Structure 1
Amino acid sequence: MRRVVRQSKFRHVFGQAVKNDQCYDDIRVSRVTWDSSFCDSKGAQAPMVHFCVTHCASTCQICIGCIAVSAVHADRRFSFPRRVMLIVHCIETGRIDKSYPTVCGHTGPVLDIDWCPHNDQVIASGSEDCTVMVWQIPENGLTLSLTEPVVILEGHSKRVGIVAWHPTARNVLLSAGCDNAIIIWNVGTGEALINLDDMHSDMIYNVSWNRNGSLICTASKDKKVRVIDPRKQEIVAEKEKAHEGARPMRAIFLADGNVFTTGFSRMSERQLALWNPKNMQEPIALHEMDTSNGVLLPFYDPDTSIIYLCGKGDSSIRYFEITDESPYVHYLNTFSSKEPQRGMGYMSKRGLDSDLFQDDLYPDTAGPEAALEAEEWFEGKNADPILISLKHGYIPGKNRDLKVVKKNILDSKPAANKKCDLISAPKKTTDTTSVQNEAKLDEILKEIKSIKDTICNQDERISKLEQQLAKMAV
């Protein structure tokens, strides 16, 4: 696209990689062929940086200083691979020891992860095992491997490749799978309350909430971009062939309600486009970038209207400012590195820690307090994020533990609209059978927990023995 030089307070924004001693080294990132970001970062106190980037170097460095990073990798030292997440504490830079504790619970590769915006200790994961798991990470990081999630959310019939927390409502989580279904969960009760299973005829590439969480937009393999009201279960707007190329697209909501997309042209050129959901016949702006084949992943800052574009296999991150002036999408700058990137994550500005502050560069940003409870959102209420000032820095408050109170589905009343209620009451059985089934289920769960604990302990034991063997060899 033509780079138009224009006056902007963000014109001289630039990126700078930290030194090697502030990187996380030797992280074995997953080899699964899924277009996820592979890493995510939460809003803990950190230097003034926004990105964590997993590079394709043999050491698999995550080049950024002092943030909590979640990376996905599989351990192949067992007869069946353990599927784990690695939670790295913000002060533990350098080489990651093989015996470093992990989050292990999935029986298939972890495909997507997302830190909760309202609780810095809670993270959700989606996996090839068709489940979503929500984990509570200890406040001071892991000292032992974590095997028990707070809740397991089961409802997809195929692998789960997308998880995304609601931006303003507490305990509302969205998941999307290769069954072409989107499920919205109340994590606080473990219930699946909305199932959008008839809106996509092909694989869903990504899902994005809008600013207040009243709408979602999706990009799909059928080359359509859809804007959906999840509670009414209606498609509000739709664009066929938003990008005509066969490679994957991405679509995200902007703060003003417009939709930003990335994709490929018929000639396999990478494109970016801006759309108004009220009229999606023609884009507000459409620009061609280059002929690289890496899928462009957009990361959006709603406070400054800046979009960062990262492509897998690229060695650069490009920044664009979105305005209401033509050409609407304005090129700002490019960060280049020596190694191609494999995964990317974007950290909340609550994690910034700097002596320098400018009101115009760092306006009020979304804080950790939820504007709504899950029940309020499902009842139809909307609310914008609760903003906080960064002028005097952000001091993290006390995170409350995530508690799941499962409801007795036998007592649930049938809903007037069956489509809006995913969970239907099963046929009544005798009290004796129910008690027997519960006892058997408890026994099975205890046995599974025992096996998981044994595996984790053996993993740590093997790592220690390997270290001793290496020392003896030297």
Structure 2
Amino acid sequence: MRNSKFRHVFGKALRREQCYDNIRITRSSWDAAYCAVNPKFVAVVTEAAGGGAFLVLPLSKVGRIERDCPLVAGHRDSVLDIAWCPHDDNLIASSSEDCTIKVWEIPDEGILKENLTESMVDLEGHTKRVGHIVWHPTAQHVLLSAGCDNFIYIWDVGTGTAMIEIQTNDQPYCASFNLDGSKFALTCKDKKLYVYDSHTGKVLQEGDSHNGAKQSRCIYLKNGLVFTTGFSKRSDRRYTLHDENDLSKPLVEQDIDKTNGVIFPFYDPDVNMVYLCGKGDSSIRYYEIGELNGKPNVFYLEMYQSKDPQKGFGFMPKRALNVNSCEIARIYKLHNSGLCEAIPFTVPRKSDLFQEDLYPDTVGDTPAITAEEFFSGKNAEPLLVSIVERL
């Protein structure tokens, strides 16, 4: 039996009155998470007449949401993806069917008096819908966008300029930076997995990804590993683990089940755990990345199961968790009924004292380098903060 302190991680949803209810969640069929959370706010993509919109609420404002609650509503067409800035909890980016990306500043109290229609920055360059956006992990105000025009742009948000332009072979599905942002992994409709240099836009490695017809996703792990989820030709859902320096063959490849919903992976680098959330089903599986006989491997831990299917998900940064209850992750799950449900994942411990072994130093909200430094070729590891000092 393999020893691990995370063999018994339990997820338990909060009571309905501790969650958000009556949200008009988007009915779009685009495969996106539709939810983003940070230590201050939860954001959910919603239905909106005459354009695209999303809802932003303070974490403390739980309960039933009024149907006429003000929205962030500046896009001319449906919002497809949203992402909070990792270095400023009041900044959020959104991408849309209208081919634009907008960056918004949310007021500290988070409760809008009226619809927010004026964005801080509009990023224009894509000629088709923009289905995926991701912030650089260590450089301030650097954002990557992937569009259905087969282009990827890396933007200097401060100037509103696309500094790097990359043309892909096919429609990009999902991009993920490594921990210092010097590289990013990419899955595409051509069923390939790529690793790019973030500064030059050059392909460093490429290999076969999942050969099924539906969307595949990727996340960059520590130690040069890339984790992907997708489908086989027989429509089995599966995951793979790759070495960034050789994508010709996966280190690990494992079928999961035959359900048809796209799997969204979320990664906790502090404890090297991956959470797999299947869209349209009702389970969240979690795994630990480790070694077996000196080689990287993926170890199944447990599965959170509920009766209600999930429409979307948000993954909370570690610095916002309740460490006094040994909470190591929190996932926000969207229901088709309009409920946004918080699910804490905890490690049971007998002691009431702070469990330091569960909480190594984690990524803080201070950027390691400026956008100018990044675009001049500099890389930097993320700046870590002690959770103990924040207690």
Question: TM-score under structure 1 normalisation?
Answer: 0.74
**Root mean square deviation of aligned Cα:** 1.2
Alpha-carbon offset, residue 355 of structure 1: 2.6
Aligned amino acid, residue 75 of structure 1: A
Q: Supply the distance in 1 between the matched residues of 2:283 and 2:2 (Cα, whole angstroms).
A: 22
Residue number in structure 2 paired with 1:470: none
Q: 5+ unaligned residues in a row in structure 2: which ranges?
A: 326-353
2:131 is aligned to 161
**1:174 alignment partner in structure 2:** 144
Alignment of 1:275-294 (within 5 A): 275-294=242-261
Instruction: Report the Cα distance in structure 1 between the residues aligned to 2:98 and 2:212, rounded to whole angstroms.
Output: 30
Q: CA deviation at 1:362?
A: 1.1
Contact 1:261 1:273 in 2 (8 A): yes
Residues 181-260 of structure 1 mapped to structure 2, 5 A cutoff: 181-197=151-167, 200-240=168-208, 242-260=209-227
Asked if 1:106 corresponds to 2:102, the answer is no
Residues 287 and 301, structure 2, Cα contact 8 Å, conserved in 1: yes
Q: Is the 8 A contact 1:135 1:149 kept in 2?
A: yes
Asked if residue 75 in structure 1 is aligned to residue 75 in structure 2, the reply is no
Q: Select the residue among 365, 368, 374 that pairs with 1:368.
A: 365
Spell out the pairing of 1:288-327 with structure 2 (5 A cutoff). 288-325=255-292
Distance 1:380 1:324 in 2: 33
CA–CA separation in structure 1 for the residues paired with 2:156 and 2:362: 25
The structure richer in strand per residue is 2
Contact 2:238–2:254 (8 Å) recurs in 1: yes
Q: Is contact 2:188-2:216 (8 Å) kept?
A: yes
Secondary structure of 2:17 counterpart? helix
CA offsets, 1:362-410, max 9 Å, x none? Answer: 111000000000000000000010000111436xxxxxxxxxxxxxxxx
Report the CA distance between 1:354 and its aligned residue: 3.9
**CA drift at 1:229:** 0.6
Letter paired with 1:13: V
1:346-365 CA distances to partner (integer Å, 9 max, x unpaired)?
01011123435322211110
Matches within 5 A, 1:16-95: 16-44=12-40, 68-76=41-49, 81-95=50-64
Distance 1:133 1:190, change over 3 A: same
1:151 to 2:118 alignment: no
Which residue identity is paired with 2:140?
R
Give, in whole Å, the separation in 1 of the partners of 2:260 and 2:277: 12
Partner of 1:386: 383
User: How much has 1:211 moved relative to structure 2?
Assistant: 0.5
- Runs (5+) with no aligned partner, structure 1: 45-67, 395-474
1:6 is displaced (CA, Å) by 2.1
Aligned residues of 1:352 and 1:393 also touching (Cα < 8 A): no
Q: Which amino acid aligns with 1:130?
A: C
More helix by share: 1
For residues 298 and 321 of structure 2, what CA distance do their matches in structure 1 show? 26
Could you say which residue in structure 2 is the equivalent of 1:404? none
Distance 2:48 2:156 in 1: 32
Q: Which residue of 2 aligns with 1:449?
A: none
2:328 is the alignment partner of 1:332: no
Deviation at 1:230, TM superposition (A): 2.7
Does the residue aligned with 2:28 lie in a helix, a strand or coil? Answer: coil
Q: Match of 1:151, as an amino acid?
A: V
Report if the CA contact (8 A) 2:181-2:198 is conserved.
Answer: no
Q: Within 2, Cα distance between the matches of 1:195 and 1:280?
A: 23
Q: How many pairs does the alignment contain?
A: 360
Q: Which residue of 1 aligns with 2:344?
A: none
CA distance in 2, matches of 1:70, 1:91: 13
SS at match of 2:275: strand
Q: Secondary structure at the match of 1:328?
A: strand
Residue 53 of structure 2 aligns to a residue in which SS?
strand
Counterparts of 2:210 and 2:245, CA distance in 1: 18
